[in-house]
Amino acid sequence: MTRKLTDKPISIGADHRGFALKERLKVWLQANGYSVKDCGTDSGAERVDAMDYALRLVAEIKENRSDFAIGICGSGQMMAMTANRFPFMRATLLHTSAESVPAREHGDANMLVLGADTVDDATAEHILKAFLHTDALGGRYAERRERLAKLDASDR
């Protein structure tokens, strides 16, 4: 790898269904020069709530300890829905590496969400690689991101 998207640790968290994939992606990240902050869970043996781990990842970004996070649960849906409740979060649930490019270029996604039941390990690594090798675009995309950050649906 020639460059890193961030020098801060990448925070990663998963529920019980995403535990095995989380462990695999931690190894990939470290092998590619990234430091990792593991936000749990520590086992796939007992059921835990994905929402709790999504909130841990959100806190890492809110407190500026990480610029990027990776959340993994069975479908990925609960991780993404929870994270996107916060205006500074731009969580994207991806199924292919091709989706990573617009998610980063257009949306400046700061949280990659994966469904452990919907992507295999090799696909997850390809998605992560594309995510980390794609920069956000400026111009009209930056303007959209600014509008998105100001959006509050409760006002409607």
Q: What's the pTM value of the predicted model, to 2 decimals?
A: 0.94
Half-sphere exposure of 153 (CA within 13 A, CB side): 4
Please compute the mean of the pLDDT values over residues 41-63 and round it to a whole number.
97
What's the full length of the chain, in residues? Answer: 156
Query: Rounded to whole angstroms, how far apart are CA atoms 78 and 59?
Result: 16
Which of 16, 95, 106, 126 is catalytic? The answer is 106
Q: Is residue 95 annotated as part of the catalytic site, yes or no?
A: no
Please compute the mean of the pLDDT values over residues 56-66 and round it to a whole number.
98
Q: Would you place residue 1 in the very low, low, confident or very high pLDDT band (cuts 50, 70, 90)?
A: very low
Q: Are 71 and 112 in contact (CB under 8 A)?
A: yes
Beta strands in the chain (DSSP E): 10-14, 36-38, 69-73, 91-93, 111-115
Domains and CATH numbers, the chain: 10-151 (3.40.1400.10)
**Average of per-residue pLDDT values in the chain:** 94
pLDDT exceeds 90 at position 148: no
Q: Give the pLDDT of residue 152.
A: 67
Please compute the mean of the pLDDT values over residues 7-27 and round it to a whole number.
98
Query: Rounded to whole angstroms, how far apart are CA atoms 2 and 39?
Result: 27
Q: Give the pLDDT of residue 131.
A: 97
Q: What is the pLDDT of residues 68-108, one digit of tens each?
A: 999 999 999 999 999 999 989 999 999 999 999 999 999 99
CA-wise closest residue to 71 among 10, 99, 112: 112
